[in-house]
Amino acid sequence: MPQFNPNNAIRFNLPEGSLSTREGTKVVLVSAETLGEFIATAGPKGGAGLLRTIGDTLGREALASLSKPFIEATLPEIVDHLAGWLRVGGWGRLSFERWGDALVADFVSTTVNARAAERLLEGMLARLSDRSVACAYVEGSRFLLLSADTAAEVRGWSRSGMRLGEIVSRLGAAE
């Protein structure tokens, strides 16, 4: 299985004073604190849009770093490349779990809070799947991947103290 290769994921052009990804996307280094302040200043909609755009860029880079067309890649290869780009960008560590029919992202980040992580993951996964994806923080470092209309309800259940297993059971019973 071809694994994510971080070599040259970010290219430093010191004479020009620029950074770019392997695919040529221009990037900048910014402290997590500065990014957090920028997101807060942008407000809820602006900050969410910014994080989805960052996620979209990370998803695009993950797709480009696969050594084969997306349709031919295995799920472990895709996850490895997504997780690799999150690590290279300093966003955190990502893995996925199956809970029955539910897909759960386990995303540990010291860079962003759970609400911001939802938006970042939504951007990545929307780029990958070419459709709208919602992520709902549930507990610990776990996020459920669902439709946008279900996500709001799941967030409410989570805020009320409902645990992941109970939420997954409730979602399964609703089908």
What pLDDT tens digit does each residue of the chain (175 aa) get? 668 888 889 999 999 999 999 889 998 888 888 988 988 899 888 999 999 999 999 999 999 998 888 888 888 999 999 999 999 999 999 999 999 889 999 999 988 999 999 999 999 999 988 888 899 999 999 999 998 889 999 999 999 999 999 999 999 877 6
What is the C-alpha to C-alpha distance for residues 121 and 59, in angstroms, rounded to an integer? 9
What is the C-alpha to C-alpha distance for residues 99 and 70, in angstroms, rounded to an integer? 24
CB atoms within 10 A of CB 47: 19
Confidence (pLDDT) at 175:
64
**CB neighbour class for 19 (10 Å; exposed up to 12, middle 13-18, buried from 19):** middle
Amino acid symbol at 127: R
Confidence (pLDDT) at 20:
93
Give me the torsion for CA of 111, 117, 120, 121, rounded to 10°.
130
Confidence (pLDDT) at 146:
92
- What is residue 92's three-state secondary structure? coil
DSSP 131: S
Confidence (pLDDT) at 173:
77
User: How much of the chain is in helix, strand and coil states, percent to nearest 5?
Assistant: 50, 20, 30
Give all domains of the chain, ordered by start, each with its CATH number. Answer: 10-174 (3.30.1380)
Amino acid symbol at 101: D
Q: How many CA atoms lie within 13 A of 71 on its CB side?
A: 1
Contact 78, 105 (CB under 8 A): no
pLDDT tens, 117-148?
A: 999 999 999 998 888 889 999 999 999 999 88
Q: How many CA atoms lie within 13 A of 95 on its CB side?
A: 3
Sheet holding 26-27, edge to edge: 10-13, 18-21, 26-27
